[in-house]
Structure 1
Amino acid sequence: MLGEMHDILHEFPNLEETIKNLHESDPQFASLMDQHDALDTEIRNLEELNQPIDDLEMEELKKRRALMKDQIYQYLRDNK
């Protein structure tokens, strides 16, 4: 769905407190989360503004976002 929010707080609302605590206390987690959310913003902007981008390139951006989300989820599971 175009323009849908995929930032980490929207993806894992039940883990909001853990996410906020880790973002404040763990620079590695904060960096990964910030990179993910910046990529999500880039993807949404490309979709909403109908910017010229190759379908394959968009697919690669979305795959990278999904991989980062998986890494973040594993990090959250390990630090609950």
Structure 2
Amino acid sequence: MITTHPIVQEFPEYLDKIKDLYHHNEEFQVLLGSYHSLDKEIFEIEKGEIPATDDELTHKRRDRVFLKDEIYNYLTSS
């Protein structure tokens, strides 16, 4: 099944912290926005709405994992 991967579903235990960081940390806002945009793009590629090669899709998925790791680091660092 093709689905999106929202951060709040990936890290539901950090929902309050995600909201707080989003409203008070500009760098986190950018990071979360980048993750959301990339996740949406991957979803559209997987649904066939946007053309992409397998290599491009693989690269985008790796970038999404990197962003997810960065977000997790924010959530666990303070």
Indicate the percent of aligned positions where both proteins have the same amino acid: 33
Q: Which runs of 5+ in 2 are unaligned?
A: none
In the TM superposition, structure 1's runs of 4+ consecutive aligned residues that sit over 4 Å from their partners are: none
Q: How far apart are the structure 2 equivalents of 1:45 and 1:5? A: 9
CA deviation after TM superposition for structure 1 residue 63, in Å:
0.1
- Are positions 1:34 and 2:56 aligned together? no
Q: Aligned Cα RMSD in Å? A: 1.2
Give CA-to-partner distance per residue, 1:30-61, whole Å, 9 cap, x none. Answer: 11011001100010011113533110110000
**TM-score for both structures, normalised by structure 2:** 0.92
Greater shift in the superposed pair: 8-17 or 42-51: 42-51
2:54 maps to 55
Q: How far apart are the structure 2 equivalents of 1:59 and 1:67? A: 12
Q: How far apart are the structure 2 equivalents of 1:37 and 1:51? A: 16
SS in 2 for 1:51: coil
